[in-house]
Chain A
């Protein structure tokens, strides 16, 4: 005879087995078409490049090596791979500027929404949500129509007499920057709003009672209270900016590449799959690092608020 405890234990085991079976389809699909291929790519980064793309199954560190260094084709001397490093540096720089610019625009916007009367807030949030769910390519294309030489911006500035020659924005870093700020702005506003909505204005009032100026209240009370939203928004903007591919491809010129385009190049005309794989893993590592910072920060602020 099995005891009651044993029966309960068996039921529990069966319950858990059932739960694994139920989640199996989702786990298997994600393994086949998302996680598994990343491991294959990791393996590819340690192989020898093939003559016409693809790889030869021979171990080599050349892929990783050429992320940072290049070998001179004539005398075999080594030098730092300026081209790669400058593209990586441009990606990081543009992503940081995009994050700061979306924060500068998004913070006041989220605050504005959070201080509207309750019944109109939903409408303002909806207005931010619509661009968020609009196809990224369409939004990039829409930005192109604003900043191109005969676009709305140049036509407007010329009509106002501010400029007489159109500003060449397309195919420059500025175009990529405008595109990324525009496309990722909702990703900053939404988490910021989520934390500002919970802001306790009695604390703000207490600040004014103690003769704080508006700026002091903003710096010493509001910003520290909504810090989790600032961190979440910054991470949500920074990560896709760093991996941007469509925006620089459409708005940037041939020379104005970002990391995503450099990766594509290795799988296209560059025909250097191990290098492309190594670059991809580098990008993924940076993103994981940013996410870890975020999770640690979220855990700490969660613990602080109980």
Chain B
């Protein structure tokens, strides 16, 4: 007892906070762990445990609809994140390392706008416009999805690129100009290599955001254009089998991998 009596009074402790924090972490991970465990369930339904099995992963991998949706998700995400990253890089160069000029605040507001409007609102607004355009042009391909995804990916790609640029000194580019580099050469040989970590981080953020999107995709897609999330949304409302768990688990693994890589890229920079 005496040992406890001599312990110093810790000013950082608040009673009960540690318990609540551990409860919160349990709450954050219990559902995810449940989902993953049931993906390896050998039983036919989610109500009973039928031993460890990979059969649902095999089923999902053989399912043609899942293959289609996964491929479509990937194509849309690569195109949207790619275009968004290029546009965001250009916009970031145009809005950093400058004295404030007229329209700068307007540009910030414009670029961040997709973050501020609820997704469902953008989704129905796009439904209104694109349903008309689809009738007028007769084109109902993946272009609409790519365009819609690119728009909401831009602010996510823009954030890390702008942060990187703001920490960069423009004296190196000026030195290149002094050595008779054309503006393009200075950009290719000096700015771009310095900017690379920001661009990679921006692309990855945009890629994950596009891959995860449900709401806007659900309203913009034409018939037969399910991405993996909208396919899952449709399936969840029907009879749920562990196959959905298997798809979700694979998806989860990919997201965690990307986030981990992103985390370490950012940490090395700091």
CB < 8 Å A-B pair total: 247
Please give, as numbers and ranges, the residues of chain A lying within 8 Å of B208 by CB-CB distance.
133
Give the residues from 28 to 69 in chain B that come closer than 8 angstroms, CB to CB, to chain A: 28-32, 34-35, 38, 46-47
Please give, as numbers and ranges, the residues of chain B lying within 8 Å of A33 by CB-CB distance.
126, 147-148, 150-151
Given A19-B94, A112-B21: A146 touches B251 (CB 8 Å cut-off): no
Chain A 10-48: CB-based contact to B (< 8 A → 1; otherwise 0): 000001101111110111011111111110110010000
Asked whether A26 lies within 8 Å of B124 as measured between CB atoms, the reply is no
Interface of A is mostly: helix
B87 at the interface (CB under 8 A from A): yes
Asked whether B114 lies within 8 Å of A137 as measured between CB atoms, the reply is no
Cα(A31)–Cα(B244), bound, Å: 36
Pick the residue among A205, A208, A260 that contacts B120 (CB under 8 A): A260
A126 and chain B: residue at smallest CB distance: B263
Give the residues from 81 to 100 in chain B that come closer than 8 angstroms, CB to CB, to chain A: 83-84, 86-88, 90-91, 93-95, 98
B223 at the interface (CB under 8 A from A): no
Given A23-B94, A29-B147: A37 touches B125 (CB 8 Å cut-off): yes
Q: Which of B28, B126, B148, B245 has the most CB of A within 10 A?
A: B28
Please give, as numbers and ranges, the residues of chain B lying within 8 Å of A222 by CB-CB distance.
14
Interface of B is mostly: helix
Asked whether A19 lies within 8 Å of B101 as measured between CB atoms, the reply is yes
Asked whether A23 lies within 8 Å of B113 as measured between CB atoms, the reply is no
Given A134-B252, A145-B38: A263 touches B151 (CB 8 Å cut-off): no
Please give, as numbers and ranges, the residues of chain A lying within 8 Å of B239 by CB-CB distance.
none
Asked whether A280 lies within 8 Å of B232 as measured between CB atoms, the reply is no
Given A27-B107, A138-B251, A246-B214: A41 touches B124 (CB 8 Å cut-off): yes
Cα(A105)–Cα(B23), bound, Å: 8
Please give, as numbers and ranges, the residues of chain A lying within 8 Å of B103 by CB-CB distance.
20
Please give, as numbers and ranges, the residues of chain A lying within 8 Å of B120 by CB-CB distance.
243, 245, 260, 263-264, 280, 283
CB distance from B209 to the nearest CB of A (A): 9
Please give, as numbers and ranges, the residues of chain A lying within 8 Å of B121 by CB-CB distance.
38, 41, 243, 263, 280-281, 283-284
12 CB contacts below 8 A, A to B, read A21-B94, A23-B91, A26-B88, A29-B147, A30-B113, A111-B17, A112-B17, A129-B259, A137-B236, A138-B251, A146-B31, A152-B30
